[in-house]
Amino acid sequence: MTDIKGDTSPQEKNTVGSSWKYALAFTVAVLAGVFNGWISTRPGLEAARFLSEVFIRLFKFVSVPVIGVTICLTIAELGSSKSGKSLWQRTLFYTLTTTLAAATVAAVLYHILSPENISLAAGTADPGIADKKSYLEYFTAVVPDNPLAPLVDGKVLSILLIAIAVGSAIRCVPSPAQKETLKNFLGGVQSVIFTIIKWIIAVLPLGIFGFVSLCVYEFSTGISTEGIGTYFSVVIGSNLIQGLVILPLFLLAHRINPVRHFAGMFQALVVAFFSKSSAGTLPVTISCAENKLHLNPRVTRFTLPICTTINMNGCAAFILTTVVYLMQNNGTVITPGILAVWVVIATVAAIGNAGVPMGCYLLSASLLASMDVPIVILGIILPVYAVLDMLETALNVFSDSCVAAMVDRTSGKDAGAAGTPIPEKAA
């Protein structure tokens, strides 16, 4: 707000001052992390590992209840109204279209670059990453047989399923008084969770220091990409094209400024890049979407938890490229028809992937094992997968925010207003 003379109000000055202080602390944390990772002293690396582990645990601690409570409460409040159905439909539509686009970009790039097979050294051992569990069994495991197990184990898909069921059940409770009591309870829990998130984000530069330190240290140890450079070019190139071209085109089609959108989500993208967990980054993603992009809380708290679980643009590109490349090395001739089939399979597989570190890698290994394709090459990919995982996670979070922005833009007044935004200081 400004007064008649156009001067900035005290509240606005305090907000700007806090933002500059946080930006300075953030920058110092990044520079200190680079220096700490470069000199690679034992005490420094131990401190970095400690801080990284603490913040990943904190993010996991809040991300599980964030997903459960926000989805459950939002569904309960939406009821059976047309606006509620509209949010579902739009979220699923944009999730499918963006993920399908990511897989298609990877397929086209793979066809253009046509990576050559690599020769494995004699005696190269199978890394044994994947067991013989089928992909169908992977989905069966989503259905919980214990109401507490998904919370204890952090099974995001199971938690999402429970939240949808409980929210729908609350909506069907016949007593209005009981229904309101349940929704008020969930609303109170949500407020507590977001207060804790505000505290975590306030000290987030410490976590960034740890993440950056370990990242720089991994780079300094040396990473070899000899023999599969074209494969990595396909994965990295498809992620960059999706993030810098395809998603901005989606935003422009909905009259959303992609540069402004990217700037608003920058903090969440940095956390996603270094933490390698879109589910763990969810609290920061919601904070940026509500406080920087000013999206409707009712949209963000419904759309973002769902997108964190099923909207995996980076994973779709990695699954397609990796599975097709290993099939090719196993003797399969890769034709445009096979690529088209795997565009669909990779899209569905990405939707079923969990937003945790190395989720795409393990899922790809499971798919290959279920088809009896040797996964020896995954052992060669593993040393550099950390870099790919960072890029994929950042793309996933950016795509989540794009879906939320498009849903918010197309929902208009139907979305209403629900919940209380995370305080600006939290961002």
Residue 145 carries which side chain, given as an amino acid letter?
A: D
Report for 2-16, 79-93, 243-257, 304-318: range of highest mean pLDDT = 243-257
**CA 198 to CA 116: how far, in whole Å?**
49
Residue 5 located in a structural domain: no
Indicate whether 36 belongs to any domain.
Answer: yes
Within a domain: residue 237? yes
Q: pTM of the full predicted structure? A: 0.64
Q: What is the DSSP letter of 242?
A: I
Give the total number of structural domains in the chain.
1
375 domain-assigned: yes
**Per mean pLDDT, which range of 216-225, 285-294, 305-314 is the poorest?**
216-225
Q: What is the DSSP string of 135-149?
A: HHHHHHTTS-SSSSH
| 38/133: higher pLDDT | 38
pLDDT over 80 (residue 194): no
Residue 1 within any structural domain of the chain:
no
pLDDT at res. 29: 85
Question: Taking the CA of residue 93 as centre, how many other CA atoms within 13 Å lie in the half-sphere pointing to its CB?
Answer: 10
Q: Are 126 and 374 in contact (CB under 8 A)?
A: yes
Q: Of 368, 387, 326, 311, which Cα lies nearest the Cα of 110? A: 326
**pLDDT computed for residue 108 by the predictor:** 95
Determine the structural domain holding residue 286 and report its residue range.
10-426
Please tell me the least confidently modeled range out of 97-101, 400-404, 417-421. 417-421
- For the record, the structure tokens of 38 come out as 């470069």
pLDDT at 31 over 70: yes
> Residue 150 is which amino acid?
P
Question: What pLDDT is recorded for position 221?
Answer: 65
Question: Which class for 40: exposed (0-12), middle (13-18), buried (19 or more C-beta within 10 A)?
Answer: middle
Answer left, alpha or beta for residue 91, where phi above 0 means left and psi between -120 and 50 means alpha.
alpha
Whole-number average pLDDT of the chain: 77
> Residue 19 falls within a domain, yes or no?
yes
Is 120 within the bounds of a domain? yes
Percent of the chain with pLDDT over 90: 19
DSSP at 423:
P
Q: What is the pLDDT of residue 7?
A: 44
Q: Is the pLDDT of residue 364 over 80?
A: no
Of 9-18, 371-380, 398-407, which range is least confident? 9-18
- Asked if pLDDT for residue 59 goes beyond 80, the answer is no
Has residue 2 been placed in a domain? Answer: no
CATH assignment of the domain containing 55:
1.10.3860.10
